[in-house]
Amino acid sequence: MPNLGQRIIGTGFRVANGWVLTNQHVASEIMKDVAKRKEATLEHWFLEWSYPGESGGWSSTLKQAMLIVPLVAQGQAWLDVALVGYTYNAGDLDPTRVAEFADLSSLRVGRDVAICGYLGGNSLLRGIPGAPRFGPVVHSGVVSGVAPYDTANPRDLKAILTDFNTGGGFSGSPLFDPTSGRVMGVHHSGFNGGICGVGLPLDRVRVDGWINFVEIINSRGQKKTTFEMTGGGDIKVEHP
């Protein structure tokens, strides 16, 4: 997600028409920048989608960020997610697609997993003298563990541990099945010096619940609200 100065601070992916999912700590960096500006708007921030070009390499398209909604539930700091809204018109010619999700019951230790994002932010794009442009980059590996444990109800899983190296810029990247491309989670942090990664399990039910909740409170014009969630992050009760 770059601003007009092309400062890439993290990764996100399209989860619905008009919505991108990323980490709450990525969204916080954007809001810190907005707070410094007198106009206090998101006009300097854009979502840039990268996708394989028809003749090789990467192509991209830009959309301006219009709304940022961190999903923070009291006592659940592990829920490091935020939704970024952008203007979507059904008639627009859009080369990108909404993410498809895997079934959480397929999330098991030892299965293949991949991640795609802007590792290092700008550093792999122009920070290496004489080197060609990289980004986004792809890592692959396996699911090393799930929490609280691998026999839990999949709807109560809070974390995925992966065995690939990670680093800044990967925050908000999708964790996906490398064969089908279906998303299994969102990466949010590294562990033990970045030698492995940690993510939050996701599926379509969970993400649609968040989007529906945000759209309800926006339609009511509410600035603040509270909500309860199940152990895995599903919205359980709304308190308007």
Q: Are residues 221 and 141 in the same domain?
A: no
141 vs 72, more confident: 141
Predicted confidence at residue 2, as pLDDT, reads: 47
- Same domain flag for 148 and 191: yes
The number of distinct structural domains making up the chain is 2
- For residue 45, is pLDDT > 80? yes
Q: Any idea what DSSP says for residue 217?
A: H
Q: What angle do CA 122, 123, 127 make, to 5 degrees?
A: 110
Residue 220 and residue 197 in one domain = no
Do 85 and 130 belong to one domain?
Answer: no
Whether 163 contacts 142, CB under 8 Å:
yes
Q: Is the pLDDT of residue 215 over 90?
A: no
Residue 199 has pLDDT above 50, yes or no: yes
Quick one: 192 and 227 in the same domain? no
- E-strand stretches of 129-234: 137-147, 159-162, 174-176, 183-191, 196-201, 226-229
Asked if residue 4 belongs to a domain, the reply is no
The residue range of the domain holding 128 is 104-201
1 domain-assigned = no
Query: Would you state the torsion angle of the CA atoms of residues 27, 29, 30, 35, taken in this order, to the nearest 10 degrees?
Result: 120
Per-residue confidence at 190, pLDDT binned at 50, 70, 90?
confident
**pLDDT > 70: percent of the chain:** 78
What CATH number corresponds to the domain at position 210?
2.40.10
Indicate if 81 and 156 belong to the same structural domain: no
- Would you say residue 79 lies in a domain? yes
Asked whether residue 26 is assigned to any structural domain, the reply reads yes
* Residue 171: partners with Cβ closer than 8 Å, 6 or more residues away: 10, 11, 22, 23, 25, 26, 117, 187, 188, 189
Let me know whether 64 and 146 are in one domain. Answer: no
Whether 109 maps to a domain, the answer reads yes
Please report which confidence band the pLDDT of residue 128 belongs to, taking 50, 70 and 90 as the band edges. low
Residues 213, 197, single domain; the answer is no
What is the pLDDT averaged over residues 145-169?
A: 86
DSSP single-letter state for residue 101: B
